[in-house]
Amino acid sequence: MGGHIVHVADFICPIIGINYLVELIFDDGVTWYARIPKPWRSFDANAVMNSEVSAYRYLKRNTRIPVPEVYHFAYDTDIDNAVGVSYMLIEKLPGHSLPELTGQGELEYAKATRFHKQLSDIIIELGI
């Protein structure tokens, strides 16, 4: 893994999300995401990001639940943060985004069934 960034995709910015998401594509084909908290969507973006990083790392070490590797993160208050905003650089996992489960028909039912099965597996592993 490594190389130089050859493409920075447009912002992937869900309307209801609390982060901007920027896709970073390297010349060796590896893709990362840069997650940047929307300052107006979180009371304390640094505390939220710290909690997310801790949760990702805990789940990665202690479960089989697929979570992204956190490659780097920095707070807006870090003296050596040249970007000037809080951010997290994470692995892009294989797979698809959460599907909209609002459609009808056999294919939509199959997607919803598969999603609920995967979610159930995660809940069972967490012991909730």
Domain positions in the chain = 5-95, 97-128
Give pLDDT, residue 120: 92
- Domain 5-95 indexed as CATH 3.90.1150.10: no
pLDDT digits (tens, 9 = 90+) for 1-22: 556 656 566 555 555 577 888 8
**DSSP tag of 97:** P
| Cβ contact 23:6 at 8 Å | no
Q: What is the DSSP letter of 29?
A: S
| Residues 14, 100: Cα–Cα separation, whole Å | 13
pLDDT at 91: 93
Tens digits of per-residue pLDDT, 47-101? 888 999 999 999 999 999 999 999 999 999 999 999 888 999 999 988 776 666 6
Mean pLDDT for the stretch of residues 25-54: 85
In terms of DSSP H, where are the helices of the chain? Answer: 45-62, 106-126
Three-state DSSP state, 81: coil
Q: What is the pLDDT of residue 74?
A: 95
Q: What is the pLDDT of residue 12?
A: 58
Cα separation values, 52 from 35, 36, 43, 74, 88, Å: 11, 12, 15, 13, 10
